[in-house]
Structure 1
Amino acid sequence: GLVESYPQLKANDNIKQLQEELTTTENKIAFARQFYNDSVNAYNNRRQSFPAVLAAASLGFGPIELFNMPEAERAVPAVALR
């Protein structure tokens, strides 16, 4: 990338801050995905237990699918610095 081609950019405080913010954002997204999937698993497990299974079926509460994203779509987008 651009930063690798121009090492002096690594010393730039704005570039450092941008890299930190991008990393933090990626971590927040990963955490949110995991939290969502953990919540879905808890819901689906509870929904299948007695007596919740009776209420869920009669009220139309079906299972929820986990959040799955193909690895290619999880790739971090490139940031163009100009």
Structure 2
Amino acid sequence: MGGISPVQLLIVLLIVVLLFGTKKLRGMGSDLGSAVKGFKKAISDDEKNAAKDKQDADFEQEALFDKKDQAETLSPKDQEKTKDNDRV
């Protein structure tokens, strides 16, 4: 009840072929296929780029002992500033 039978589908297909012609339908089918291919390629390229973007930031990580060495070379005023910044 309410479903589309194969006979009805065949009639609709025949009407579409008569309206548009086989050449135009073939062209539309190839255009649609190339659009789907391009979409899939763009999606896969985005996934590859997203994996590359998940890398860490472009700075080198400093060890804690490097900061201590750096603090020893600073003037007393600069050392106070770094201590204040570390507290925050």
Say yes or no: TM over 0.5: no
TM interval, short-chain normalised:
0.3 to 0.5
- TM-score between the two structures when normalised by the length of structure 1: 0.44
Specify which structure has the bigger relative contact order, considering alpha-carbon pairs within 8 angstroms and separated by 6 or more residues.
Answer: 1
- TM-score between the two structures when normalised by the length of structure 2: 0.41
Q: In proportion to residue count, which structure has more helix?
A: 2
